[in-house]
């Protein structure tokens, strides 16, 4: 409350030194966050900006109109949405199950927690290669996954170069594998912080464990679940390196490009050099993310009001 500040020691000097201590951070943030943030909007409204000659013909919504008509962009939007819709619910639900399991055991708990966290500290590109190899079908071998599903009588599929849904499946599996550690960690600590007294009193009342879950555990950790769903949406909408890891840099050829991938392709690489299109695409992406986040918040508010 009555926190003492140090102004008493020397008013003017502390003013200057305060800004001085902040100076490096401020400079970097202004140069690489604030300015770019403004700039990206400007770019997105400059028609035909050319990064080589640094000229544009005028301002307007042209860039937006262009990307919204670009079949490649529309394809990335479709891919991204499908990926989000598959991975967010599955990963969140699975993480909840696993956390509940973890929370109810004692022996080996730490070992499991350590193992489950491993994907968090791995290089996305490196491990993606392993997934690629596990799922790949080549003229020489059908690959491990095909061998396993073959045991169930399913004929081999090329998951990397084959049908769309097979590719989407691999990508989803990999994305889920990558995002699980964070979700498990957050949910286990949320579950662990539910005070024991609630469970004890429920036991005294003879409540069934199913009811305990729905009436006590879930409401208590629901803020964290909402948080995970929202960050999960944001993260999945920004998926990119996972896709590169599995299908290689030329995602358009694989038909697996994501919105973020489109942004980078427009910016740099074979089709690159169009920062205006890239900016417009980035802003469209964040308009989508923002909308979904707001909807999420409203829905979760409603849901908690009902329970």
Partner 1 sequence: MKIKKTIIYFLLAVWALIVLFPFYWMVLSSIKSYASYAGEKIPKFFTTSPTLENYRSAFTAVPLARYFSNTLIFTLATTALMVIIIIFAAYAFARIDFKGRNLLFLGFLALMMIPNELVIITNFVTITDLGLRNSFTGLILPSVTSVFYIYLLKENFEQVPDELYYAAKVDGTSDLKYLFKVMVPICRPTIITVIILKVIECWNSYVWPRLITDDPAFYLVSNGIQELRENGLGRDNIPAMMAAVVAVSVPLIILFLIFRKKIMEGVSREGIKG
Partner 2 sequence: MNVRMENITKVFPGRDRKSAGVTAVDNFSLELPDGKLVCLLGPSGCGKSTLLYMICGLETPTEGRIYFGDQDVTDIPSEKRGVGLVFQNYALYPHLTVKQIIKFPLENLKGDEKLSKEEMDKMALEAAKLVQIDGLMDRKPGQMSGGQQQRVAIARAIVKRPKVLLMDEPLSNLDARLRLHTREEIRRIQKETGITTIFVTHDQEEAMSISDLIVVMKDGVLHQMGKPQDVYDDPVNLFVAQFLGTPEINVFEGKVKDEGLYIGEDRVLEVRGVEDKDVFIGIRPEGFIVDDEGKLNCELKGINIMGRDITVLSSNGASKNVIRSIVSAETAIDSGSNKVRFNLKPHKTYIFDKDTEERIRFA
Binding interface with ligand ATP (CB under 6 A): 2, 4
Cβ 215 vs Cβ 282: under 8 Å: no
Interface residue with partner 1 among 123, 208, 291, 304 (CB under 8 A) is: 123
Cβ 221 vs Cβ 194: under 8 Å: yes
Rounded to a whole number of angstroms, the minimum distance from the CB of residue 12 to partner 2 is 11
Helices (H), the chain: 11-29, 35-45, 62-69, 71-103, 109-117, 124-135, 144-151, 164-192, 196-204, 209-212, 218-237, 241-247, 251-254, 259-267, 275-306
212-216 own/partner pairs: CB under 8 Å, 24+ apart: 213/100
9-28: contacts with partner 2 (CB under 8 A): 9-10
From residue 295, alpha-carbon distances to 80, 158, 205, 281 in Å are: 18, 37, 38, 21
What, of partner 2, partner 1, ligand ATP, none, does residue 14 touch, CB below 5 to 8 Å by kind?
partner 1
Q: Pick the stretch among 66-74, 76-84, 181-189, 199-207 that binds partner 1 (CB under 8 A).
A: 181-189
1 binds partner 2 (CB under 8 A): no
Q: Pick the stretch among 5-13, 141-149, 183-191, 229-237 that binds partner 2 (CB under 8 A).
A: 5-13
φ/ψ (deg, to 5) at 230: -65, -50
Residue with the shortest CB distance to ligand ATP: 4
Interface residue with partner 1 among 66, 72, 112, 198 (CB under 8 A) is: 112
What, of ligand ATP, partner 2, partner 1, none, does residue 199 touch, CB below 5 to 8 Å by kind?
none
Give the distance from CA 184 to its chain's centroid.
Answer: 15
Rounded to a whole number of angstroms, the minimum distance from the CB of residue 3 to ligand ATP is 8
Which is nearer to ligand ATP, 5 or 307 (by Cβ)?
A: 5
199 binds partner 1 (CB under 8 A): no
Q: Which residue has the tokens 């596990």?
A: 134
300 binds partner 1 (CB under 8 A): no
Which pairing describes strands 58-59 and 46-47: parallel, antiparallel, or unpaired? Answer: antiparallel
228-247: contacts with partner 1 (CB under 8 A): 228, 230-231, 234, 238, 240-241, 244-245
φ/ψ (deg, to 5) at 95: -65, -35
268-297: contacts with partner 1 (CB under 8 A): 268, 275, 278-279, 282-283, 285-286, 289
- Residues in contact with partner 2 by the rule CB under 8 A: 8-10
């Amino acid at each position: 409350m009555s926190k003492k500040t140090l102004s008493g020691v020397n008013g003017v000097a502390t003013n200057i030194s305060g800004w001085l201590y902040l100076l490096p951070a401020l400079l970097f943030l202004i140069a690489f966050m604030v300015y770019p943030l403004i700039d990206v909007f400007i770019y997105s409204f400059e028609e035909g900006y050319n990064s080589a000659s640094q000229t544009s013909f005028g301002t307007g919504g042209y860039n937006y109109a262009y990307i919204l008509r670009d079949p490649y962009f529309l394809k990335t939007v479709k891919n991204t949405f499908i990926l989000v819709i598959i991975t967010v619910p599955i990963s969140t639900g699975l993480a909840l199950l696993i956390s509940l399991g973890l929370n109810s055991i004692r022996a080996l708990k730490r070992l499991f927690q350590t193992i489950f966290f491993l994907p968090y500290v791995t290089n996305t590109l490196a491990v993606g290669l392993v997934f690629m190899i596990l799922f790949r079908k080549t003229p020489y071998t059908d690959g491990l996954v095909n061998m396993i599903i073959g045991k169930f009588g399913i004929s081999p599929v090329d998951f990397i170069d084959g049908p769309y849904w097979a590719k989407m499946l691999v990508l989803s599996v990999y994305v889920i594998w990558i995002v699980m550690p964070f979700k498990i960690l957050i949910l286990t600590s949320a579950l662990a912080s539910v005070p024991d007294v609630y469970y004890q009193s429920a036991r005294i009342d003879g409540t069934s464990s199913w009811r305990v879950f729905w009436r006590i555990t879930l409401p208590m950790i629901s803020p964290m679940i909402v948080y995970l769903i929202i960050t999960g949406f944001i993260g999945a909408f920004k998926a990119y390196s996972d896709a590169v890891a599995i299908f290689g840099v030329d995602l358009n050829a694989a038909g697996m490009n994501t919105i973020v991938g489109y942004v980078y392709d427009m910016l740099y690489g074979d089709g690159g050099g169009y920062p205006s299109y890239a900016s417009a695409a980035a802003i469209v992406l964040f308009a989508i993310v923002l909308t979904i986040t707001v909807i999420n918040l409203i829905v979760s508010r409603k849901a908690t009001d009902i329970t």
